[in-house]
Amino acid sequence: MLQQMSDAVARYGHGEVSRAIRGVQAQLRQQLDHGRPALVADEVFSQRVEAELQARHQPTLRSVFNLTGTVLHTNLGRALLPAEAVAAMVAVATAPSTLEFDLAQGKRGERDKHVEALICELSGTEAATVVNNNAAAIFLVLNTLALGREVPTSRGELVEIGGSFRVPEIMARAGCHLVEVGTTNRTHLKDYAGAIGEHTALLMKVHTSNYRVEGFTHSVDEKALATLAHERRLPFVVDMGSGSLVDFAALGLPAEPTVAATVAQGADVITFSGDKLLGGPQCGIVAGRRELIERIRKNPLKRVLRLDKLNLAALAEVLKLYRNPATLKERLPTLRLLTRPLADIEAQARRVQPAIAAALGARFRLTVVPCHSLIGSGALPVETLPSAALEIAPLSGDDGELRSLAAALRGLPLPIIGRLSSGRLLLDCRCLESEGDFLVQWIALPEALT
Ligand SMILES: *Cc1c(COP(=O)(O)O)cnc(C)c1O
């Protein structure tokens, strides 16, 4: 035992090991207080100390299997990065870099320069800057261009994105005055025209990304709004939300307006997320007319909201992948997962089925069923992608048993997150890429279930 303890001290430090030993001793004492024998062999004692130490050092931010069927799952970290982006992050994380250093001049440089030309090239804009996320991008744009002034916005676009991001609240915090125009279901060009006055700062359109109003509806398209804004000498700002850089329809996916198309409609400034359909790191991209982007960049809050070097390095690599559209689908994980052929997903589900059935034992019924994946992160809320899932149902029909199973799967070394739906646990295989690691997890399941 001494040898094991001194190994543990070398790895975790004295304080940690003595805390763990005291913890195990306390558990044993409690056992004695409850009249249960608490004599343990040295071997068992040191194993329990080791387990205690490992538990304390397990990161809370861990990898999981996302089998929820939502590809860009905000709670599970949204887009996965391609290898090129990860390598670039490691490089700038472990050595000094040219983050704000101009090698040619030997002087201070500008951090936006690492991505600005790429963004402009891919979006057809004159200038661009990047911040922490799209929420920050919208905030910075409004705070720069509309501080103390009015922003007419359609009642149909006063969206809540999730958490505490609500357009009216962001506008208030950015210091501008929201002027609601139109109604929930219908807003016309004349509503905007009537709302423009001497205090108007800009016209804004917010992509209603996470819901759709159907039936008797009307909204004003980008082109008409841009024309109106320009007639009144106002900038036209579009919050695109997801903002795709490629034509989704051409990839066989539900159509989503591209950034370049929205710019071509006359948007002067657009904002979108880096970790949604773009498939990059968390960030918010602001692109548009040079003079407006310059003003946005000079806002002191830009420093508060700026992007860190790791994400900047990753973003540059992800954007470079877009220069070769032919290989994009394989190299960018988000697009790879979204375009995964149904036959492929189905074959995989059938391939892993026997091993999982064996691990589940006789209490559960396991079938491969068709299902629908969602893109997620508010992108294309109504359209779904045909997929295949492992459907698990307890033979007893007992919901408690199903919930215990879901909890046991979350407790595996690499937790498996599925979707509970009317008495069944669905494991959508669309995002299952490391099949070997996945199968290994199930070996530990029977023990976790008892
Ligand atoms: C997702 C989204 C946001 C927020 O973007 P984050 O990158 O999560 O900050 C804002 N507006 C719209 C329309 C969105 O879809």
Per residue in 267-304, pLDDT tens? 999 999 999 999 999 999 999 999 999 999 999 999 99
Q: Tell me how far CA of residue 418 lies from CA of 216, 377, 430, in angstroms.
A: 37, 17, 12
Higher pLDDT, 55 or 199: 199
Task: Give backbone dihedrals phi and psi of 106, rounded to 5 degrees, phi first.
Answer: 70, 25
pLDDT at 119 over 70: yes
pLDDT at 197 over 70: yes
Q: What is the mean pLDDT of residues 324-338?
A: 95
Choice from 131, 134, 160, 240 to test ligand 1 binding pocket (greatest atom count within 8 A of CB):
134
Higher pLDDT, 333 or 3: 333
Q: Give the distance, in angstroms, between the CA of residue 102 and the centroid of all CA atoms in the same chain.
A: 32
Q: How far is the CA of 155 from the centre of ligand 1 (A)?
A: 18
> Residue 100: its pLDDT value, please?
98
Q: How far is Cα 36 from Cα 15, in angstroms, rounded to an integer?
A: 29
Q: What is the mean pLDDT of residues 229-245?
A: 95
**pLDDT classification of 314: cutoffs 50, 70, 90:** very high
> Residue 158: its pLDDT value, please?
85
Q: Is the CB of 135 under 6 A from ligand 1?
A: yes
Q: pLDDT tens digit string along 345-385? A: 999 999 999 999 999 999 999 999 999 999 987 666 678 99
Q: What is the mean pLDDT of residues 197-211?
A: 88
Q: What is the mean pLDDT of residues 135-157?
A: 96
Choice among 76-85, 151-160, 436-445 with the minimum mean pLDDT = 151-160
What one-letter code names the amino acid at 253?
A: L
What number of other Cβ atoms are within 10 A of residue 298's Cβ? 9
pLDDT at 434 over 90: yes
pLDDT at 36 over 90: no
Higher pLDDT, 218 or 209: 218
pLDDT at 152 over 90: yes
- Asked if 443 and 407 count as a contact pair (C-beta separation under 8 A), the reply is no
pLDDT at 41 over 70: yes
Residue of 247, 244, 298 whose CA lies nearest to 270: 244
Q: What is the mean pLDDT of residues 134-160?
A: 94
Q: How far is Cα 142 from Cα 286, in angstroms, rounded to an integer?
A: 12
Judged by phi (left if over 0) then psi (alpha if -120 to 50, else beta), residue 233 lies in: left
| Mean of the per-residue pLDDT values of the chain | 93
Q: What is the mean pLDDT of residues 134-151?
A: 97
Q: Which uninterrupted H or E stretch holds 330? A: helix 325-331
What Rg, from alpha-carbon coordinates, does the chain have? 27
pLDDT at 6 over 80: yes
Tell me which CATH code domain 83-329 carries: 3.40.640.10
> Residue 381: its pLDDT value, please?
65
Q: What is the mean pLDDT of residues 120-139?
A: 97
Higher pLDDT, 344 or 35: 344
What number of other Cβ atoms are within 10 A of residue 289's Cβ? 16
Choice among 7-21, 155-169, 206-220 with the minimum mean pLDDT = 206-220
Residue 276: partners with Cβ closer than 8 Å, 6 or more residues away:
72, 78, 79, 134, 241, 242, 243, 377, 378, 379
pLDDT at 344 over 80: yes
Ligand 1 nearest atom to the CA of residue 138, by list position:
10
Q: Is the CB of 378 under 6 A from ligand 1?
A: yes
Q: Give the distance, in angstroms, between the CA of residue 266 and the centroid of all CA atoms in the same chain.
A: 28
Whether the model pTM is above 0.85: yes
> Residue 444: its pLDDT value, please?
86
Residue of 133, 188, 65 whose CA lies nearest to 434: 65
Higher pLDDT, 226 or 37: 226
Residue of 425, 414, 423 whose CA lies nearest to 65: 414
**% of the chain surpassing 90 pLDDT:** 76
- Asked if 309 and 153 count as a contact pair (C-beta separation under 8 A), the reply is no
Q: How far is Cα 81 from Cα 115, in angstroms, rounded to an integer?
A: 16
- Asked if 155 and 183 count as a contact pair (C-beta separation under 8 A), the reply is yes
Class of the CATH-defined domain 65-76+338-449: alpha beta
261 SS3 class: helix
**Ligand 1 atom 6, closest CA:** 134
pLDDT at 161 over 80: no
**Ligand 1 atom 3, closest CA:** 241
Q: What is the mean pLDDT of residues 32-38?
A: 80
To which residue do tokens 């003595």 refer?
18
Q: How far is the CA of 219 from the centre of ligand 1 (A)?
A: 20
pLDDT at 214 over 80: no
What's 346's DSSP letter? H
* Domain residue extents for the chain: 2-56, 65-76+338-449, 83-329
Choice from 132, 142, 173, 239 to test ligand 1 binding pocket (greatest atom count within 8 A of CB):
239
The two domains 65-76+338-449 and 83-329 share their CATH topology (first three levels equal): no
Residue of 182, 174, 242 whose CA lies nearest to 207: 242
Q: pLDDT tens digit string along 49-97? A: 998 999 889 899 999 999 999 999 999 999 999 999 999 999 999 999 9
Q: How far is the CA of 283 from the centre of ligand 1 (A)?
A: 10
**pLDDT classification of 210: cutoffs 50, 70, 90:** low
**% of the chain surpassing 70 pLDDT:** 97
Residue of 258, 294, 336 whose CA lies nearest to 116: 294
